[in-house]
Amino acid sequence: MDGKVIKELQDLRLLQWSRIRHSSGTAGSFLKARTTEKGTKWYYKLSDFDAFRGIVGHECVNEIIADRLLTLLEVPHVPYQLIHARISIDGQEYVTWLCRSADFKRKDESKIALDAFYQMEREPGESPLVFCRRQGWEQYIRQMLAVDFLILNRDRHGANMEVLRSRADRSYRLAPLFDHGLSLYFSVHEDEKLETEDPMRDRRVQCFVGSGSALENLRLIPKGERPFTGILTRNDRERLFEDLEEAISPARQEAVWDMLWRRWQYYESLRDS
């Protein structure tokens, strides 16, 4: 076990949740909260929520699956925990799964969304992709595009990538990859509908440095280039879904694995062509 899943029910009813509309164009909203414990800032978020149906999505579980996948592929990223918790929203109590992550900034760093940084620092006529290359961030972008194809991340807008600025030496770096919840089958809430889903379907995505197609974004990576030092194998299935049996059904695990494995095989064939 990697310690990422806390199954014992936690009492988190004191968390104060704020609504943030997600930007994928689908219905619903995310609720977020934060606390500070022993000097560490923690950020919490829920899956898709509406006042009538409650918490219905699987975005928090997707974060853990993506976290584990990126670990296997040796891609720098923000680690998440999945927590079984009792919470309160507008006086109504819910038992659900939520995820949390620690603040990834160093003490001397401030952050700014990549799209805002690009607007301030770009050269005339320079696209976001070319801008990132000029900053020396090409390998990061290649890893991101490949990861987002594998998990079909549909929400890599310009604020889901952040630039961290150091006050000490005035240097810049891109934040580790984070926020992968709107991926996999996040919009398919009912297991019965998973059977009709095509795991290779190229749905419309938001990608600040690329296009609206995850497949076309994958092709922005030069042929023969290897963004990952790690690999995905059939034996990794158990590791990806370890301790998640109470959070998602066997049918969803099967569907998610089928998507990941088929997309990995396609990625490898395209990379090596």
pLDDT tens figures, 205-226:
999 999 999 999 999 999 888 9
3 contacts 78 by C-beta, under 8 angstroms: no
What CATH class is the domain 109-272? mainly alpha
- Whether 49 shows a pLDDT value over 90: the answer reads no
Segment 254-257 long-range contacts (CB within 8 Å, at least 24 positions apart):
255/185, 255/194, 255/197, 255/199, 256/65, 256/184, 256/185
Which neighbouring-strand residues pair with 49?
29, 55
* pTM of the predicted model as reported, rounded to 2 decimal places: 0.93
Q: What is the DSSP letter of 132?
A: H
d(CA 35, CA 196): 41
Q: According to the model, what pLDDT value does residue 28 have?
A: 43
Give 63-121 pLDDT, tens digit per residue. 999 999 999 999 999 999 999 999 999 899 999 999 999 999 988 999 999 999 999 99
Q: Outline where DSSP puts E strands in the chain.
A: 5-11, 18-20, 30-37, 40-45, 49-50, 54-55, 81-89, 92-102, 109-113, 155-156, 162-166, 172-174, 206-207
CB-CB contact of 178 with 156 (8 Å): no
pLDDT, average across residues 137-152: 97
Helical ranges in the chain per DSSP H: 59-73, 114-121, 128-134, 138-151, 214-218, 237-241, 250-272
